[in-house]
Amino acid sequence: MAHRVNNHDRSLWLLAALLAVTVTCAVFTIIPSAARAGEGHYCTNVWLANHNEACSAGFGLNNTILLAGSGAQHSVCVHMFAGSVRCSGGPGEAVYNETMRGCTTACGIPEIYNNGFSSNQVWGFYVFS
């Protein structure tokens, strides 16, 4: 003889399944996602005409690990805030600035500037976590 499932039992099973789905969705919403890491570019292939002429990314960065840049004709300097300036050794050499390590909010605006006395083609990039 087959066991008959009444409507009350079906309702309980349906309620239990719905509750399980709701709890699963809530858990995945509460758990933070993995950290996002990557890199970006600013002032790419820009010509700076004079000594100390700067190019700014135009936006601030958070969670920045490294700021870098290079110039084709002369040395360049990179920074995000006062006191964090680092300069390359000469044309074609990259400069790496890690003074922002540990910066999590309002790190600053990436900037690269010409450290030579004539035109310089520059490139800047940053790494964030």
124 three-state secondary structure: strand
How is residue 11 written in tokens? 């309702």
How is residue 44 written in tokens? 């790419």
Residue 128's CB: how many other CB atoms inside 10 A? 19
Question: Quick one: CATH architecture of 38-128?
Answer: Sandwich (2.60)
Determine contact, residues 69/59, Cβ cutoff 8 Å. Answer: no
Given pLDDT bands bounded at 50, 70 and 90, which one contains residue 33? very low
Given pLDDT bands bounded at 50, 70 and 90, which one contains residue 108? confident
- Show me where the domains of the chain are located: 38-128
Say what the pLDDT of residue 27 is: 44
Given pLDDT bands bounded at 50, 70 and 90, which one contains residue 9? low
Q: Say whether pLDDT at 57 is over 60.
A: yes
